[in-house]
Structure 1
């Protein structure tokens, strides 16, 4: 028998045994599922009869209570009839499912069940009439006991009998299931044991001779590799290994002849190589000079492209900053409009009061006018501060760094985003006493504004009291300052976290985001020598960590320093 047929025999036998065990497992699983479904149906029917029995007793007690309170029992009777109808529908459906599962025909039992349900309906009407006809001086406890005994002797015993029948059927089904499980257990033990024994026997018959032949082949190959071409393998096997041994012997003979021919040719080629070497050396020098010139030209082109990319990056950062300002335009307009309204109101008041034909002002009127002037001045000052924050964020600056008060930059971003945040969450600010950091105020303001807007958009409007946006600044080790911006919004899926800093990647719906905000923020922070990290859990919110280097050596007490990030 050839090696191919031996391998096919093992593979075929293994496949057949695996299929047989899989089929056995499939059949066992199907039977187990059917048994489980049957038990659940029987249990559900028994519980349904129990609910009917309990509902009837409760119905009688409610009737007596309603009689005692002078109420109308019509609602109770209707509710009891609906309960009976619901349980009847459930029992009818269970009977249909029993037929689908191949259980014995229970037409006779269903007829008894229908009769019991009909008696229960009639009892519901009859007992309501009996309670209604009771005299006012009747003892309700005695009546309740009498009516319950009457119910148990008439309708209740049929319901109890049906319930006991279901319990008996459940015990029988459990016994049959246990018998099948015992048989399947023995089959699961015997079938794999026989399969393993059969496969082991075949492997012991086939593999040892193949292993010996392969070892001889490897030893011969090693000797040929060492330069010994006199190796010869036995060719008496009647399978592929015998054919391989014959081919190996021929290969050794051909290699010996080839080696001798190669030694002869090498002597002839050595004479020609010296002349070709000089020629190739000259060609190589010329090629090196040409390639050097081409590399210098390519380097110049790459430098030009790098300069263009830097200019495009600066334009992209400025465009993203203006886009953030565009998203905040309505809120900023509202913030400017409020102080302007009471500036104009106070100026109009002063204009009316200071007409030339007006009588001299009293002391009280002068105080009112001074109050109006003070209010107008405060409003104008508020407008000036808002415009100052906008100018700081919107001017197209370079990447020059300077000592920056980080808390002031964060407060400016909060002022611009305040209206966007106000309707969505409570804002919690915690600014520690920090040294100045190495940075650029315009671009840092752009980073924090983007993070605040993203935090607001991650929270659904209308849940302000239940949501929070927190800003925390603190020292984080020697020479480092950390800013945390966290929210309780929708969070980011774990599979998306590695990609959030990629350009044009966004988790927002189409048309609501460009995917550039976080990418630009990451570029700004890393260009300033800082680090940018994020932690998020879907449905529980996100936290962004920004670490920036301190500009000078003046730092607060390092005992308050916190770890880099959680």
Structure 2
């Protein structure tokens, strides 16, 4: 698991590391400087000792030292002087390399030359940056006396006292550095929290409250520095955001209100159009009924004429009844729930039903496509009504065209097309939203029924009005103009769509698409009316 540190923890860790590293480096350099100066003073003391020995041996005879008793006395005095200054290991060597006087055993280990003036050479043994000043200094000095001008003195200067002193110094520097580090870190954390962390946390808390909906919140950072300027800019930005959000909310409320007004206006316009159409369609037969009643009230010419008027009166009343019933089919939802239906079977039944209809006399019907299609959810009676209406319209179009070829072609099958339901807006609160699969899927399977005729087709103006209520291309009195309007309302209520294509002089084709396996309750007809 990845460890995530906050800005405070990161800054504190940085302060601790930098402080510890800085104090440690200073302590390390301080110890090395003290060690170097201590060794330097040891070298100076060794130089003084060599000069003293040279002075004490300056009166020795020039001849060979072997067997000359007068030469032993100054060497003995020099040896005593060496012991007096704490040098217990040394050798006096003549020009021939023979040891004249020795005390202790010299260990000629490899070391580092730290001083060399020609007459005096000092070698440090066991020293280094981390090893300290070393174990001892190995000193080689030339004896420039009158008797032994080319002889030399070699001795060891122990550094035990320096090592002991430096051990105490290291402990002192360690505790001093530890105390300094603690003080620096404590004050650093305090000032960091007060000057940086607390203002940043205030900004963060204000941002969280604003994002949670408290648009009036502001960051309280009184500091007069960069963070204070940042907090001031943040507060200005928050104020502008608050103003913009309030403006958007106000505009949204106005938009919702206008949308509701527009929807009501569209609904009223649609209802008004329907009412006007109904009034127009019913007005004609009502006028005829009124005329027939007036004639009957005045007395008809005879029984035959009276019977004829009554028959005409009944016919006009029947027209009014048909118009009212068809309108009720639009406005009233289906009383039967949808269930799985085989479209191909319904089409076959509809074709068989219209084959004996008077409008299909002399018209051939060709059915092709799948003998069995996937099931769709719809009221079987409503679907049969739609198919029969399309077939009758096709038959009327063929007859009106008066062509040599009188044929209607029907086809069923399955096609892929964009999902219709996911693209439809929800106009009611209880409308079910499209599922995630419907929204993400660009298309799905639809069962289709196409009815094509070899009629005269429609003009562009007629095509734009083809699904409007009470619009018809038939002769006056031959239709109410509600057939396609009702068919479209039925298919849309079950999640489908009706499309058409027409070419003037060649005919038209109407295609009904119904989604495969979509088991849902039909939408109410007023939803379709509002559209």
TM-score by length of structure 2 reads 0.29
Higher share in helix: 1
TM-score by length of structure 1 reads 0.28
Higher share in strand: 2
Rg (Cα) greater in structure: 2
